[in-house]
A and B are shown apart, each in its own frame.
Chain A
Amino acid sequence: MQFGVLLFLVAAGLTLVFGVMDFINLAHGVQYMLGAYLGASFAAATGSFWWALLLALPVALLAGLLLEWLVFRHLYARDHLAQVLATFGVILSLNQLVRMVWGSAPLQVPVPALLEGGIQLMPGLTWPTYRAAILLAGLATAGLLWLVVERTRVGALVRAGASNAPMVAALGVDIHRLFMLVFGCGAMLAGFAGVMAAPILSVEPGMGDTVLILAFVVIVIGGIGSVRGAFIAALLVGLIETLGRSLMPDLMRLFLAPSPARQTGAALASMLVYVAMAGILAWRPRGLFPVRAG
């Protein structure tokens, strides 16, 4: 569940950047990774997870805006092929940079003291408090995002931009400022997800890539540009991913001997998300909640 929520935080930014700017940003996962590393470093330096969170967010935002200024803004007018390649180059560079600065070994970030321990759901089944906190924080962010997108003027522009960008530009809105705003928010959301993930996942180079691809799956399933679609799809993917890993090997044991069961189970579990994606797209080629007009 908390994995789905983290996925949503990454996918929300991605789907908006995508929907509004028609810009395919492979480097979005790198921003998540950067968030995690910044969180880890600040946590080590200050000794406090909360200071780390507070410091990492603006730095992640700045890093995002710097990348926008250096690379991305030269790509908005280009075709998707150029966007894919250039942002792929950004990934290679930043993964390597991270390796240079922090080394290849995974970093560990301690769970903040306040959120240690677990919540007893029923006898024998406890749920780590920190994971519950992620879930809550994620849901709160999702709620906030929903309010902004659905209820404010800026949100209305973003929605309009996602369904028809030239129209919004024609209405005299400074589309470049809107882009930067959406982009900055997306970068910060991804960074936020990274910081939150740091204590429960290992912080290592390349950690952004896996999340990126799952986030793609999420926005494709949800429908490009749809925050609501991203939310539902993220939970769905998180659920399939988690359940698949725990249930598949057991399920296979019904049919196979233990050892091959474990192996086929693991293979099937890793395929499950993508098979689900294929199934949903075969049924609805434009995703569950298509936004774009035409």
Chain B
Amino acid sequence: MLHRYAVPLAIFGALALAPLLGFGAGHSLSLLARAMILGLGAVGLSVLVGGAGLVSLGHAASFGIGAYAVVMLDAAGQTNAGVVFPVAVLAAAVFALLTGAVAIRTAGVNFIMITLAFGQMAFFTAASLSAYGGDDGYTLYARTRLFGTRLLENRWFFHYLLLALLVLAWVAGRRLLASRFGRVLRAIRENPLRVQALGFSPYPYQLLAYTLAGALGGLAGALLANATEFVAPSFIAWQRSGDLLFMVILGGLGQLHGAVLGALAFVLLEEYLAELTPHWRLIFGPLLVLVALYLKGGLLGLVQRRG
């Protein structure tokens, strides 16, 4: 048996050392930044899917709201991180709260479709915002300012900031799932009727989990806008939500660092295949089918079976 922290330490260690070991060039760093940001969102989704058993197919909407919060504030001349990030997180949380309030009432398979529909709603809304570029998107000319400085534009600083946030989200997610609240969530996933018979109403627990995951997605979205310095409705496209779900499953649903591993593997694989052929999705799609069919436990499952 591997030590239980061996795999997460290896993942985070590799991310910490990557810039020092020859991956410090602009392209590698922005690739890693993308992976970590998606990983941040995937950790939230993993809490939701693996912890609460809520399969959301609209998680990209929270990314989009976080990203568009940055855009709208930028257009209004507000680029102070102390304002931008809290607004992005709060906006995504409120959206999750409102849509979750309807979606969670229906539960089960309806939940998947309704989250998908709300995600699509966010997408079309973004595409119709012609003041912010509509379909074409919006280019940010400067990143959000941190304490009045342009620190976020320093690639190395940005890299380690993302890593710190990712580790923080991972720790917080683990604590959450182990806490009283998380215990109730996990129990609801296993048997909602039993949990009600104990005296818990599942609804507020699930709604809060959904809102928290949305908030984390908002943070990730705001970071993504800063990383790419460009925001478009395609950030919210429903395929993005599917990708996020894939990352969570690819890495392994049982543990939160699986989501991080999945995001890394996803981004690197995408990059590799896209260099190979313009029709990379023709390889990627069947791969996804195979993972869904046969790779139970995800990449983590593979690692742990060997270890």
Stretch of B29-37, B85-93, B284-292 that contacts chain A: B284-292
Residue numbers in B under 8 Å from A192 (CB-CB): none
Which of B117, B129, B238, B249 interacts with A81 by CB under 8 Å? B249
A94 to B281, CA, bound (A): 9
A158 to B254, CA, bound (A): 37
Is B128 a contact of A282 with CB atoms below 8 Å?
Answer: no
Stretch of B18-26, B119-127, B142-150, B212-220 that contacts chain A: B119-127
Which of B117, B128, B286 interacts with A93 by CB under 8 Å? B286
Is B282 a contact of A213 with CB atoms below 8 Å?
Answer: no
**CB proximity of B237 to chain A, nearest CB, Å:** 9
Write the B230-265 contact mask toward A (1 if CB under 8 angstroms, else 0): 000000001100100110010000000000000000
Measured CB to CB, the residues of A under 8 A from B are 18, 22, 24, 26, 71, 74-75, 78, 80-86, 88-97, 99-100, 209, 213, 216-217, 219-220, 224, 263, 266-267, 269-271, 273-275, 277-278, 281-282, 285-287
**CB proximity of B252 to chain A, nearest CB, Å:** 13
Subset of 25 A-B contacts with CB under 8 Å: A22-B109, A24-B113, A78-B293, A80-B112, A81-B49, A81-B249, A84-B245, A85-B291, A86-B293, A89-B291, A92-B284, A92-B285, A93-B285, A97-B282, A100-B282, A209-B239, A263-B128, A263-B129, A275-B121, A277-B117, A278-B99, A278-B102, A282-B105, A285-B110, A286-B106
Write the B154-168 contact mask toward A (1 if CB under 8 angstroms, else 0): 000000000000000
Residue numbers in A under 8 Å from B242 (CB-CB): 26, 84-85, 88
In the complex, the chain A residue whose C-beta lies closest to that of B129 is A267
Is B281 a contact of A263 with CB atoms below 8 Å?
Answer: no
Take A82-B292, A86-B288, A285-B105 as given contacts and tell me if A224 and B282 are in contact as well, using a CB distance cutoff of 8 Å.
Answer: no
Which of A74, A94, A217 interacts with B293 by CB under 8 Å? A74
Is A274 a contact of B121 with CB atoms below 8 Å?
Answer: yes
Which of A85, A213, A263, A275 interacts with B249 by CB under 8 Å? A85
A88 to B246, CA, bound (A): 9
Take A209-B238, A267-B129 as given contacts and tell me if A100 and B102 are in contact as well, using a CB distance cutoff of 8 Å.
Answer: no
**CB proximity of A179 to chain B, nearest CB, Å:** 17
**Interface membership of B57, Cβ < 8 A:** yes
Which of A80, A86, A274, A285 interacts with B109 by CB under 8 Å? A80
In the complex, the chain A residue whose C-beta lies closest to that of B237 is A209
In the complex, the chain B residue whose C-beta lies closest to that of A286 is B106
**CB proximity of B279 to chain A, nearest CB, Å:** 6
Is B121 a contact of A24 with CB atoms below 8 Å?
Answer: no
The listed residue with most B CB atoms (<10 A of its CB), out of A78, A85, A90, A286, is: A85
Residue numbers in A under 8 Å from B121 (CB-CB): 270-271, 273-275
A103 to B124, CA, bound (A): 25
Residue numbers in A under 8 Å from B110 (CB-CB): 220, 224, 281, 285-287
A112 to B171, CA, bound (A): 63
In the complex, the chain B residue whose C-beta lies closest to that of A95 is B281
Take A93-B282, A267-B128, A286-B106 as given contacts and tell me if A220 and B114 are in contact as well, using a CB distance cutoff of 8 Å.
Answer: yes
Which of B109, B130, B238, B291 interacts with A263 by CB under 8 Å? B130
Is A224 a contact of B125 with CB atoms below 8 Å?
Answer: no
**Interface membership of B55, Cβ < 8 A:** yes
**CB proximity of B187 to chain A, nearest CB, Å:** 18
A257 to B117, CA, bound (A): 30
Take A81-B49, A209-B238, A286-B106 as given contacts and tell me if A274 and B292 are in contact as well, using a CB distance cutoff of 8 Å.
Answer: no
